[in-house]
Chain A
Amino acid sequence: MASPLVGIVANPASGRDIRRLVAHGTVFDNNEKTAIVRRILIGLAAVGITRVAYMPENDFGIVPRALDGLRNPGATSPLRLTAEPLAMPVLGTGTDSTRAARLLVEMGAGCILTLGGDGTNRAVARGCANVPLVPISTGTNNVFPLFIEGTLAGMAAGLVALKRTATRAIYRAPRLEVSLNDTPTESALIDVVVSSLPFIGSRALWDFSTVREVILSRAAPATIGLSALGGALLDSQPDAHGISGMHIVPGNEGPEIQVALAPGLVTWVGIREHRRLAADDSVRCQPGIGTVALDGEREIELAPTTRVEVRLCADGPFVVDVAAALETAARAGYMQR
């Protein structure tokens, strides 16, 4: 039987935004992304994947560079793996990631690895349907993708594509559907923030005084960025549902909480009100000139009368739990010979 196809979407633009100036973010350079992809490819090949398709880009050529001179020092035979660029135009925007994901679905990919931040994964999630993702963090304020060793990510993705993992190795993430003037327009994976900043500009948000409302798809500890508000507002009440988001309105009337708004930027902020959200709960945001940020990046400029509504949805992308994938494959005997 032919090897299943595994996809790679590596965003060359992530990891360089203004948070290196306003906080203590680290530049995530493309040579490092190339090294990660190289390790991914070796991980994929090690578990038996021979077919890879990837998003082409005119920026850096992360995957072609990773393929150049690729070899696994731990293997006795050369890598039998072909990696082909997807047949698609390159626009150099986030839509490339969405288009690549759609093509990979059409081609029957068994798993898609992503390299980027929350924004990259948001773009991929728009197109990846039911194909599970292995999201690797190469951005800044990342909640959705994880810092994980590329080799292990590649092995886990390969094992998922080969259907050698148990069902508990894959879970479904929630998403936030954003409607503008009652028309569903955008989707976010982690947070939707309405800001008073009037233009998209450098995209990131780091000044809490400009934040009008925050809607989170999950209230989780150990996150960074405005999603950290949810973790700081956790209380002794257990989560009522599997999916538990939050709506937060800043203000000086309520308690202050301490949050990490960006790498190396920790501050106390006032919260006027907050409430938990269950699946299908909606939030109608206060109108006014400003911007809507999706997963940490300003994306939509609002006219004074634009109506913004955000709904928590259970039908986000499927995501691989890398540790569980490797564990269940090992327990099933796939790591032995």
Chain B
Amino acid sequence: MTVKDAAPSAHALDKSALLRMYEQMKTIRVFEDRAGKEFASGKVPGFVHLYAGEEAVAVGVCSHLTDDDFITSHHRGHGHCIAKGVSVREMVAELLGREAGACSGKGGSMHIADVNKGMLGANGIVGGGFPLASGAGLTAKYNGKGQVVVCFFGDGAANQGTFHEGLNLAGIWKLPVIFVAENNGYAESTPVTYHMSCRDIADRAAGYNMPGVTVDGLDVFAVYEAAGEAVARARRGEGPSLIECKTYRYYGHFEGDAITYRTKEEEESYRARDAITSLRNSIIKRQVATDAELDAIDAQVQNSIDLAWQYAEAAPYPAPEEALTDVYVKYP
């Protein structure tokens, strides 16, 4: 293995890389907190599923990707979009159904996509990302440029038939796909202890001839290390991997969920290990940056989200005659 082929060392996380991670995680958190409030006030049509609490997964993984790499997402996709570089103001505009949205206001929260950023789409179908990811993986392999695909999915999706079909295809064709399980403990309201025969999604990797690992999804460094190795492996042409990140969502399955299926104590135990606070503490403890520098990032993130909402709320809705534009492919 040459150095070029190896995963980046943890020492690659210099000050600028660490502050970028912090900024992205903070952006996701502030974006989601704001989206939750605005949904409650009735401004946001449709459903929203918030990613707050799981930021370390999207950011730890996407830190290894470029715009040439692809990701597929799911119904809780805002964090993936932000970590992959989708414009925050286009995301807010999409949530509000405005013409300036990432999908011209026709997709809403569950269908944000930006192919220029390699973001192949959030997805309203649980388990809908696996076939797309394997298809994109086949494209990447065919292109031969070292592109990789990351398929984010939840513990509920791991019980869908598409999981097995997608992983099997990636396994037999040695596709450069990294399957990232965001195991937040609940498929909607059903605990993973009830719904999954093996409990640890990583155990299923063995059935598809790929390595499976479990990491602490609340620790961005743990996710970063595992994802770095899996991405490097995929770029070297050694095939797919499965990374299970044990994580937790702070909000309900969807906004409006009464969350009767878990306890406040459980939520507090996870909030006590909050990924963003942990990263901040680590940065301070190692004297990489000061509190003042991180406070400045917090303020800048808050400002960018505020501006995105101002921009989106002022943006027009699509004209009625645009209803079918971009919906069907036109063949010559």
Contact = CB atoms under 8 A, between A and B. Distances in A.
Given A16-B203, A301-B285, A30 B213 contact: no
B255 to A, nearest CB: 27
26 contacts: A12-B200, A16-B202, A17-B215, A20-B211, A20-B212, A25-B211, A26-B206, A27-B202, A27-B203, A29-B198, A30-B200, A30-B203, A31-B203, A59-B193, A60-B199, A198-B10, A198-B13, A200-B222, A201-B219, A201-B222, A201-B224, A202-B213, A202-B225, A210-B9, A301-B286, A304-B287
Given A29-B206, A202-B225, A303-B285, A58 B193 contact: yes
A207 B202 contact: no
Nearest to A289: B286
Contacts of A27: 202-203, 205-206, 211-212
Given A16-B203, A26-B206, 10 more contacts: A27-B206, A27-B211, A29-B200, A197-B10, A199-B10, A200-B222, A201-B221, A201-B222, A202-B221, A203-B222
B226 interface: yes
A201 B225 contact: yes
B211 A202 contact: no
B221 A200 contact: yes
Nearest to B10: A197
Contacts of B282: 199, 301
Interface residues of A, number: 32
B214 interface: yes
A13 B215 CA distance: 10
B225 A18 contact: yes
A200 B10 CA distance: 10
A31 B211 CA distance: 17
Nearest to B211: A20
B229 interface: yes
B282 to A, nearest CB: 6
B226 A13 contact: no
Contact of A21 (B221, B229, B285): B229
Main secondary structure of the interface of A (DSSP, over half): loop
Nearest to A304: B287
A22 interface: yes
Given A29-B198, A30-B200, A202 B222 contact: yes
Nearest 3 Cβ contacts at the A-B interface: A201-B221, A29-B203, A20-B211
B239 to A, nearest CB: 12
A114 B120 CA distance: 46
B10 A201 contact: yes
B198 A17 contact: no
Contact of A59 (B199, B222, B230): B199
Contacts of B74: none
Interface string A54-78: 0000111100000000000000000
B241 interface: yes
A207 B193 CA distance: 35
Contacts of A199: 10, 221, 282
A162 B320 CA distance: 83
